[in-house]
Amino acid sequence: MAKTSPVKVLEHLYISPPVPNSSPPQTGSSLPLTFFDIPWLFFSPSQPLFFYEYPHPTNYFTSTALPNLKRSLSLTLQLYYPFAGNLNLPSEPGKPHLVCSQADNNKVLLTVAESAGDFNHLSGNRPRDVNEFYQLVPELLPPYLSADEERLLPLLAVQITVFPSSGFCIGLAYHQVVADERTFNNFIKTWASFCSFGDSYPIKSLPSFDRKVIVDAYGLEEILLKEWWQRRFTKKTVFGTEANDGYYLSNMVRTTFVVGSKDMERIKMFIVEECNVKNESLPEHLSAYILTCAFIWVCLVKTQEGLNNEKYGREDPNYLGFIAGGITRLDFPVPTTYFGNCVGFGRAMARRNGLAGEDGLVAAAKAIGSTVKRLDKAILEGAEKWISDWKVLFRSEIHVMLAGSPKVDLYETDFGLGRPKKIEDISIDSTGAISLAESRDVKGGIEVGLVLPKPQMDAFSSFFNEGLKALPLP
């Protein structure tokens, strides 16, 4: 295990929205959870890290850039105020909900720190020990009892870590019950805009907090809440956390792979040629996302097979789970500025022998494509099983779970100091997911973030590189 570099805490403080003499109109002191939010009660917090180059010493950063980051975060929390709020966790039969009042507990913990670590190493793509990143991730405050004896859980924490004369990292931890990646992207882009252009920056579209736009025609809220209470009673409410221990993480490395647009075209050529030769129908939706996911899925299966091919049944079903945007798929209108979760869950299935065979890419693409087609037609079909269907994916040795979306342009998050050099999703360490994001440097490409034990990562890297080389040339 690599030795972690020391991090010195410079400051702990709370950031609150400005004094509310000109606050935007709010819908009330609380926001109910919809059936889109409830499944995320079972997920551990999201932990994105944004690395920015900054070739100045610490004292220059703390006297110039840092005050602006603090001020602009406060302004952003005025608009996206639930992030400064709490999750209320009442006893049964009370419903969990967001508490967003302007009281003293409406605040976000901000930690400012200095690291002696290697900025360029941490913000690279090559294999890095996962333990090197944890000092950059803020700790969310634990649940506490309010003056009214309500059990409240803070929703967001932020840490800004400066690497002297190299760069800085903005780390966030937020409970995903408050926002999907689309909402988070709107939040952090607003923060970046205020930081870049000042207090008077005109926000083109304010977040919408109208929960009435989410139509629960199938009684999903009651079904999913019932499962929440059942699992909470048995203390099995957060998937994946049991894996986040020192032994499990002792030999894990984090690596980023990039699938470029030319690679995707070659993957598509291979699939089309194989289908034509065997007179088979083409998979649905041979999009960049599906092509990339199919290739990664096959490489992972081959990695598992190469290390222990007798452990897995040849006819066993293998699942690949992913998030599907709901706004464009629902049969009722939801504004793109809607604050909260509005995503569905997709789970593709293919037999292991098909994925590991010579036509593995075809099998993977067909499985994912048909699932996307089903979601396009009826994203809420089977939604009552979202929680139970996804539980089997967490920290599974054979199943695959995807996090993030290349459609969310997080690399355009510019605080007035340039685009991020690198973005990492630390939460995949505990969930076992694979992170996907748009490539920073390869136009049309997709970054694939992966955390595996070192021997498995070496094997996966070999299958990835050799697999790309074996594809037909255009």
- Residue 270 parent element (H or E): helix 261-277
Q: Which pLDDT does position 146 carry in this prediction? A: 83
The model's pLDDT over 134-170, given as tens digits with 9 standing for 90+, comes to 999 999 999 988 888 888 999 999 999 999 999 999 9
Contact 18, 71 (CB under 8 A): no
Query: Which pLDDT band holds residue 28 (cuts at 50, 70, 90)?
Result: low
Containing 364, the helix (H) or strand (E) segment is helix 360-377
pLDDT, residue 302, reads 93
10 Å Cβ neighbour count for 353? 16
Residue 19 CA, distance from chain mean position:
32
**Confidence band (pLDDT; 50, 70, 90) for 19?**
confident
Residue of 193, 171, 232 whose CA lies nearest to 426: 171
What is the value of pTM for the model shown?
0.95
Euclidean distance between CA atoms 82 and 174, whole angstroms: 11
Query: What pLDDT, on a 0 to 100 scale, did the predictor assign at position 184?
Result: 98
What gap in Å lies between CA 29 and CA 88, rounded to an integer? Answer: 12
Band of residue 240 on the pLDDT scale cut at 50, 70, 90: very low
Question: Residue 245 phi/psi, 5° resolution?
Answer: -130, 170
At how many degrees (to 10) do helices 360-377 and 288-307 cross? 130
- Which pLDDT tens digit goes with each residue over 418-436? 999 999 999 999 899 999 9
Detail the DSSP E strand segments found in 130-210.
144-145, 151-154, 156-163, 167-174
Report the candidate in 207, 145, 168, 174 with the shortest Cα–Cα distance to residue 64.
Answer: 168
Extended beta strands in 408-445, E state? 422-425, 434-438
| Crossing angle (nearest 10°) for helices 261-277 and 288-307 | 80
d(CA 35, CA 23): 29
Burial class (CB in 10 A: 0-12, 13-18, 19+), 274: middle
* Alpha carbons 115 and 19: distance in angstroms, whole number: 33
Q: At what angle do helices 261-277 and 360-377 cross, to 10 degrees?
A: 100
Torsion angle, CA of 426/318/305/355, rounded to 10 degrees? Answer: -110
Query: Residue 56: helix, strand or coil by DSSP?
Result: coil
Tokens representing 410 are 């997080």
- Joined tokens for residue 342: 């509005």
Q: How confident is the model at residue 318 (pLDDT cuts 50, 70, 90)?
A: very high
Per residue in 32-74, pLDDT tens?
999 999 999 999 999 999 999 999 999 999 999 999 999 999 9
Contact (Cβ atoms closer than 8 angstroms) between residue 143 and residue 41: no
Residue with tokens 């991020």: 420
